[in-house]
A and B are shown apart, each in its own frame.
Chain A
Amino acid sequence: MLVEALVLSAILFVIGTLGVLVRRNAIIMFLCIELQLNAVNLSFVAFSRYLGIEGQIYVFFVMTVAAAEAAVGLAIIISIFRHYESVNVENFNLLKW
Chain B
Amino acid sequence: MADILFFIFAAMAIGGGFGVVLQKNPVGSLLFMVGTLASVAGIYVLLDAHFLAAIQVMVYAGAIMVLFLFVIMLLNLGHDYRDDIKSGLGLFAAFAVTGAIAGLLARQLRGAGDNPLLAHFPGPEGMEQLLAEQGAIGAIARPLFTDYVVAFELTGILLLVALVGAVAIAKRRV
Q: Which residues of A contact B (CB under 8 A)?
A: 1-8, 10-19, 21-25, 27-28, 30-32, 34-35, 38, 41-42, 45-46, 48-54, 56-57, 59-61, 63-72, 74-79, 81-82, 87-88
Contact = CB atoms under 8 A, between A and B. Distances in A.
A67 B144 contact: no
A60 to B, nearest CB: 7
B64 A10 contact: no
B117 to A, nearest CB: 11
A5 B47 contact: yes
A61 B144 CA distance: 10
Contact of A52 (B37, B93, B102, B126): B126
B132 interface: no
A35 B124 CA distance: 26
Interface of B: 2-3, 6, 10, 13-14, 17-18, 20-21, 26, 29-30, 33, 36-37, 40, 43-44, 46-49, 51-52, 55-56, 59-60, 63-64, 67-68, 71-72, 74-75, 77, 81, 83-86, 90-91, 93-95, 97-98, 101-102, 105-106, 109, 112-113, 118, 121-124, 126-127, 130, 139-140, 143-144, 148, 151, 155, 158-159, 161-163, 165-170, 172
B98 A17 contact: yes
B170 A61 contact: no
B20 to A, nearest CB: 6
Contacts of B85: 22-24
A62 B155 CA distance: 10
A11 B14 contact: yes
Given A24-B83, A75-B169, A35 B17 contact: yes
Nearest to A78: B170
Question: Which of A4, A32, A61, A64 gathers most chain B CB within 10 Å?
Answer: A64
Given A18-B98, A31-B20, A88-B84, 13 more contacts: A2-B118, A14-B105, A17-B101, A19-B21, A23-B84, A25-B81, A27-B77, A50-B127, A59-B49, A60-B140, A70-B67, A74-B166, A77-B75
Contacts of B74: 78
Contacts, number: 222
Nearest to A30: B68
A50 B52 contact: no
Chain A, interface SS category: helix
Contact of B20 (A19, A41, A87): A19
Contacts of B109: 3, 6-7, 10
A29 B104 CA distance: 23
